[in-house]
Amino acid sequence: MALSLRARPGDAPVLPARPRARRGASRGRAGYGFVSAYFVLLLLFGVAPTVYAVWLAFTNSSGQLVGLGNFTEVLHDYRFLPAFEDVAVYLVIWLIILVVAVVGLALMLHGRLRRASAVSRFVFYLPGALAGAASALVWMFMLDPSVSPVAWLLHGLGYSSFADVIAPQRLPVVFAVMAFWTGAGGWIVVMYGALNNIPGELLEAARIDGASALQTAWRVQIPLLRKWIAYMVILAFATGTQLFVEPQLVGEASLGEVSDSWSPNQLAYQYAFHSNNFNDASTVSIYLLILGLACAALVVFRTGLFEAGQ
């Protein structure tokens, strides 16, 4: 790519280099000071639990090392593959909706809807401000034909009861819709910001060359958004594989019609808190970690996400 996303229009002119020797050392120390608070919390609540989970995954309840024993044990659990299948289907649906709709809406906000853009961005963002559990509750209300304000639509689709709506084959779509509604708004705002970073003269040049809005979007804006989209996909994939709140709440609200191990994270929860098996619970989380790492590696290497200075 010829253009660097790091060059922002209106960047301050380059200042003459400061005398490093004099102030470098103290600036470095101040930096550590700022980072340390976060670093301590990260160690305590991020790194330490992860290391503990890795330890648990390779040991049994008596603390003996068991090699990959937990991994094969979990793999052979009858709930393991279905849980991953459920989440795979959900992820495919969700990621496609997310990428297409977020990029599409951000482009529209940036182009045609510019006048109403600030209000729209706020409105899009609003559902995201609602906590996950609360939004799942809102959706359970929306999806129950006997109380939903859009009951006519649900009846039109042939669903007469909540049990119909949450039939197993429709669950991935239901969860994808819930996740999109809460998660997409924030990403639309991020994409909008990224679009603002594209130099105006580029778009102008495209216009002068006779490119339509669609062509500009397809050939100029989207290629320049590539890294942002990759970033979104990595994070969305990671949060998506960890789906928990939605199936758990819908399961409880339907008196158990959604399996209590629908998603891998729920399976881990079942292991830990129902079977008193924290080792297998950690093993599931390590599987998820490996999946997340693999997806991130793939996306990072394919899109050159962190390649600086092109």
Residues that bind another protein (CB under 8 A): 42, 46-47, 50, 54, 58-62, 64-70, 72-73, 77-79, 144-147, 160-164, 166-168, 234-235, 238-239, 242, 251-252, 254-260, 269, 272-280, 288-289, 292-293, 296-297, 300, 305-306
Q: How far is the CB of 205 from another protein (least distance, A)?
A: 33
Task: Scan for tokens 């399961």, then name that residue.
Answer: 251
Helix (H) or strand (E) holding 203, with range, is helix 200-208
Q: How many CA atoms does the CB half-sphere of 122 hold within 13 Å?
A: 4
Nearer to another protein, 6 or 114 (CB): 6
Task: Count CB neighbours of 246 within 10 A.
Answer: 26
Name the nearest CA neighbour of 102 among 220, 236, 197.
236
Question: Are the CB atoms for 261 and 205 separated by under 8 Å?
Answer: no
Nearer to another protein, 221 or 277 (CB): 277
Nearer to another protein, 165 or 178 (CB): 165
Nearer to another protein, 109 or 142 (CB): 142
Can you read off the two tokens belonging to residue 225? 């958004």
Task: Scan for tokens 């790091």, then name that residue.
Answer: 6
State the Rg of the chain over Cα.
24
Question: Are the CB atoms for 103 and 191 separated by under 8 Å?
Answer: yes
Q: How far is the CB of 102 from another protein (least distance, A)?
A: 18
**d(Cα 206, Cα 216) in Å, to the nearest integer?**
6
Nearer to another protein, 197 or 239 (CB): 239
Task: Scan for tokens 């394919």, then name that residue.
Answer: 302
Phi, psi (degrees; rounded to nearest 5) at 199? -55, 135
DSSP 8-class letter at 275: S
Separate counts of helices (H) and strands (E) for the chain: 15, 0
Nearer to another protein, 53 or 198 (CB): 53
Nearer to another protein, 50 or 117 (CB): 50
Nearer to another protein, 101 or 260 (CB): 260
Question: Are the CB atoms for 182 and 135 separated by under 8 Å?
Answer: yes
Name the nearest CA neighbour of 74 among 291, 289, 279.
279
Q: How far is the CB of 208 from another protein (least distance, A)?
A: 38
